[in-house]
Structure 1
Amino acid sequence: MALQKDEIRKIIENKGKISFRNNPSGRQANISTGITDTIVETNYTKSSLTVNVGSNEIIVARADNSNTDNNCIDVQTIDALATAGSVRMPGYVYTGNFSGCVFYLYRTGPNEVTGVHAYSGSQPVYGKNGFFGKKKVIGQAVREFSPQDYFKRNPAQLICRYPTRQELDLSTGEQSLSFLSCVENNTATTYLFSAKGAGTGAQICRLIRAYHVRF
């Protein structure tokens, strides 16, 4: 299967639309079996990604959980966790709702890639309170819920790590950031773009970065 990375880039650069069919509120629960860890958790949906250059649209259509030939996954966002999902290569990894979180790709099998949406945000900092040593919140600090320790204990090849802090420009109407990675057998072309809107579709605002790595 040839991935349509050039057509996808054209649609993003032309400020097209990314549309979701039966997603995120599909008929089935998200796939959440597999990885279970204090920080890393499986949480994604299987999807079929198609491209319509004529209508300037990227379409991510929800697939059944039992589907074995889906070409895309949509990794969900959960506060204070690194959420992950896997797809066969060649395939697409999409994940949205970034405003400072970190995107990872790992090769987790001969023909499998795993995408991770690692939450990164302000978390309470605790200190001791008085003679009895009770904990209390003494401040806030940015913390990334990184999957790297998990994948050291469960060996996988790190393909890339892309942070997004300070990439979102709220002053122009942007509401969130998204990654769409086109992963082939030994290369990954990943687009970071901003968008506005929610529900069944979002209007793309701008292409922020285009990354290309060989692994």
Structure 2
Amino acid sequence: MNADELMPALGQATGETVQMVFWSALLTLILGLPLGVLLVIADRGGLVPVPPVKALLGGVVNVGRSLPFIVLMVAILPFTRLVTGTTIGTVAAIVPLTLGAVPFYARLVETALRGVDREVVEAAQAMGASRLRVIGRVMLPEALPGLVAGLTVTIVALIGYSAMAGAIGGGGLGDLAIRYGYQRFDTAVMVVTVVLLVVVVQVVQSVGDLVARRLSHK
């Protein structure tokens, strides 16, 4: 692939990667945050202790985290087709990306919430705050730096997952690297896509760390 062809291809592939990561990260936040909250409040000693629910949710999360992403992508192809109408392309890749990231982020949310000082929670309860207010006004704000750090780690993981999605025609930089860099033995394409992925990861990690530090200082 010559330079005139490479630049437009890189631009399109980068846009597809950003699209996949953005939407899967947004869906992961929407689904993973409440799941992580449930893991904490349903546990023994939680705000709404229901150990069977905690055990069930914990088991589902553990299964989701234990599956290698490439296996998950293939295993849920029928579900992906049901949701998106296809199993290839950028939109189709968002489904396995989200399902792979939700359990991962839910555990990070659980860890962040467990780091909240229990005395602060008990003080809010003693003042008559409802469970929802304790969660929304105390637990989540107190755990916000950890939640942001966890989301940053998850987005970085999603960037790596999106590259693997190229193995089944998911589009993005991973697809470009496989089709041109690997299958056509074009070393230049492979090197450029790897460098771009590294740069994107560094930018995301730096921004996430900066936001988490500022939140922790407030």
Q: With the length of structure 2 as denominator, give the TM-score of the two structures.
A: 0.22
Larger of the two Rg values belongs to structure: 2
Q: TM-score, normalised by structure 1?
A: 0.23
